[in-house]
Structure 1
Amino acid sequence: MDFGFTREEEAFRAEVLEFLTEFRGMNGYFHRGTDTAYGVRQVYRALGERGWLSLSWPEEFGGGGLSPAYEFILWDELAYARAARPPMGPGLVAKALMSHGTDEQRNRFLAGLRRGRINFCLGYSEPDAGSDLASVRTRARRDGRKYVVDGAKCWTSNAHWSDYIWLLCRTGAQDSRSRGLSVLIVPLDTPGVSVSPIPTLDGGRLNEVRFDGVRVPAANRVGAQDQGWQVVSSALAVERHVQFPPKRLRRDLHDVLAALEDAGVAGDPVVRRRMGQLAVRVTEVEALGLALLGEVISGAPSAVPAAYHKLAGTTLAQDIAHAGLEFGAQQALAVGTDTEFLWRQTILETIGGGTSEVMRGLIARQEFGLRA
């Protein structure tokens, strides 16, 4: 297996590093208790101006037609710089529109997504349907040329500054599970939509989005009615390689090492042994990330490699942060320091994008053929 990048891909990495000189220190990857929405939007627009939000889009849709390796490099370096996470719009939403959208939908959204001027959030999880999306209860009832939507979504990232929500809702019977779901594009300024903050453990913000008789044009449905599961699944399959950039872990390790140096304990044999073990595990997760990238590039099924990668990466993120707490002296005790913040933040990583329990279940079912 070849884990290397081509000369052209490494040249692109150099371009990304030069680009990041303007945005280092912005902390758009984390929120740190402040609203960084303006800065993150500026990053997305700057990326869009360079054509970097559509690197792997087919050329027929205005993209670069490049390998997913370019996307991997871009978001890996942005993660190390703590600049921003991959936006949902140019990734999952755009690729779903290319596969399942109408010509009118593509004409309406793709140009703005490519330029970083339209922002989407994902309306998936609900109070009673966290990671079990087949249990979604938010209902969309067809009424002539519109759908009437009632229900609520929870833990929705960036809903307070997005333009649209990519809404997974139920159009079939409640017991239809994944066979009765549809995807609607809902402008967040539509009457009947309300967005409320949900404070998070790391001082950031998620949102509850409620729908009270919201009328959505049927032209905003993506794919056929009751076929939303296929729309969501196919889009997710081509985005797994950028969902948890492994270089974020290397930055975590470097930051904790720097804190331990400041605390005067980095030379302690026990500390050195632990940090050496964590450094080996960072390399292992980087290898898992590259293996996952290889699966995506080849078009092979990537759900299981993605689950392995996310489970290993988010568990390691917690272990790195915990080492900072264990050995970090004053830094570990002071609220608001990088060491203390990192521990609170990494707890959320094992929940977002599918909990660790869901990842283990997926691996057990698909890799080992186990059943509950």
Structure 2
Amino acid sequence: MPRILTDEQQDLINAVSEFCRRECGTKEQRDKLTVNGQEPHNQRLYTTMAELGWLGILIPEEYGGAGLGMTELCLFLEETAYGRAPISGFATTIIAAASYQKFGTEEQKRVVLDGVVRGRIEAISMSEPGAGSDVAALACRADRVDGGYLLNGQKTWCSNAHIADHILLIARTSKEDSKHKGLTQFMLPTDIDGLQISGIETMGGREVNDLYLTDCFVPDSAVVGTPGKAWTQLTAGLNLERMILGAMMLGVARRAFDDTVDYVRNRDQFGQPIGTFQTLKHRIADMATELECARLLLSDVATAIDANPGMVFPREASMVKLKCTELAKHVALEGMQMMGGYGYATEFGMEALLRSAVVSTVYGGTSEIQRDIIGKTYGL
């Protein structure tokens, strides 16, 4: 189905698509950029995108950005994911930047938002060994001392901390009657004394980290927003996080689908292309239909967010995250099945798309958590 886009939006898609084809369109190029898949973020490529003005899509013009909306951000994310651009640092950067933009001091905004536009990386840290889906159960402490706070504890699954300038870290500053109270956000430089960043080896390469904090001192000026109100601040950013992940995975799903269609069109067995067999043809038709449904959902919710700044869309944003991530996993699995042994071969890339898709149903709130949120919006 043709997209209804403005000329500027179509120009953005065309430019990003051409850039990805030129810079990372072949497996050889991607292997070189990612050290054979071990480094999912390439800073040289990322800096080039910054110079083209793409990383500041959502950043206000007063801080050097383009001041565009959720729709343009989603188009950019979808197209870079489809083009398999190794810029894994962008998602956490824009999520963290949005929190600074809403709740940070003017100095924090100048430092972070200007850095985003120039191609710097930001990270955000919530999860702990005992606080995953139940984020509010975190126990990392920030104890009040003269002039600031001392941070102690462990964080885990912190994406891009090893390449970031700062970590937007959530810690407990007081014990309250509710676990959702007494949490505070801090702007933590990654070179601060007492912070150890330790990489976690995963099948997706070097992306996530354990953080160990031992008497890390941060001044009062490091507090982002209101002390004790981090949970409210976090919920204000849920639209953005879920839309980002949904847009990225729609791009992955589209890429897996197109690669699968290309394969079944050209793979002959029993004297004809395997895509002409009804069993595969119907599965292709089902996936194509689901992709259109996901695209329309993402587009409609992005449009609603742009039309209603400041409103939170918990049901719709969770639907986007749930639909797009589960669809990406389904399409990549179907692609691997239809490609047979070639689906498992690194030469063809379907296995890499599957790895990206599977983990997307876990991070940023699992599919089970998204279903629970959606159900609650119906009073259940």
Q: Give the partner amino acid of 1:140.
A: A
Q: Tell me: CA distance 1:241–1:205, structure 2 relative to 1, closer, same or farther (3 Å).
A: closer
1:326 aligned partner: 337
- Name the residue aligned to 1:369: 379
Q: How far is the alpha carbon of 1:357 from its aligned partner?
A: 0.7
Between the aligned partners of 1:278 and 1:107, the Cα distance in structure 2 is 44
The Cα offsets for residues 27-49 of structure 1, whole Å up to 9 and x where unpaired, read as 49988642243x2x223322222
Q: TM-score, normalised by structure 1?
A: 0.89
Asked if 1:282 is matched to 2:291, the reply is yes
Moved more, 133-142 or 93-102: 93-102
The residue type paired with residue 34 of structure 1 is Q
Deviations 1:24-79 (CA, angstroms, capped at 9, x unpaired): 23549988642243x2x223322222322222333333332333322222222111
Q: CA deviation at 1:242?
A: 2.7
Shift of 1:360: 0.4
Corresponding position of 1:184: 186
Distance apart, 1:175 and its partner CA: 5.2
Shift of 1:369: 0.7
Q: Mapping of 1:274-353 within 5 angstroms?
A: 274-299=283-308, 300-334=311-345, 338-353=349-364
The aligned residue for residue 253 of structure 2 is 249
1:349 offset after TM fit, Å? 1.2
How far, CA to CA, are the matches of 2:266 and 2:176 in structure 1? 57
Structure 2, gaps ≥5 residues long: 269-273
For the Cα contact (< 8 Å) 1:31–1:203, is it kept in 2? no
Counterpart AA for 1:247: G
Residue matched to 1:170? 172
Deviates more, 1:59-68 or 1:296-305: 59-68
- Aligned partners of 2:332 and 2:35: how far apart in 1? 17
Q: Contact between 1:92 and 1:236, CA under 8 Å: does it hold in 2?
A: no
| Aligned counterpart in structure 1 of residue 104 of structure 2, from 84, 97, 101 | 101
Q: Which moved more, 1:187-196 or 1:232-241?
A: 232-241
Task: List alignment gaps of at least 5 residues for structure 1.
Answer: none
Separation in 2, partners of 1:293, 1:196: 36
Which of 78, 87, 91 is the equivalent residue of 2:90? 87
Q: Deviations over 1:263-301 (max 9, x none)?
A: 533332211111111111111111111111112111243
Residue number in structure 1 paired with 2:14: 14
Aligned mates of 1:187, 1:136 — CA distance in 2: 21
Contact 2:242 2:364 in 1 (8 A): no
Measure how far apart 1:238 and its partner are.
Answer: 4.1
> 1:55–1:65: 8 Å Cα contact kept in structure 2?
yes
What TM-score, normalized by structure 2, do the two folds share?
0.87
Q: 1:177 and 1:73 mapped to 2: Cα distance?
A: 37
Judge conservation of contact 2:39–2:205 (CA < 8 Å) in 1: no
| 1:106 partner letter | K
Bigger CA drift: 350-359 or 100-109? Answer: 100-109
Q: Indicate the percent of aligned positions where both proteins have the same amino acid.
A: 29
Corresponding residue pairs, total: 365
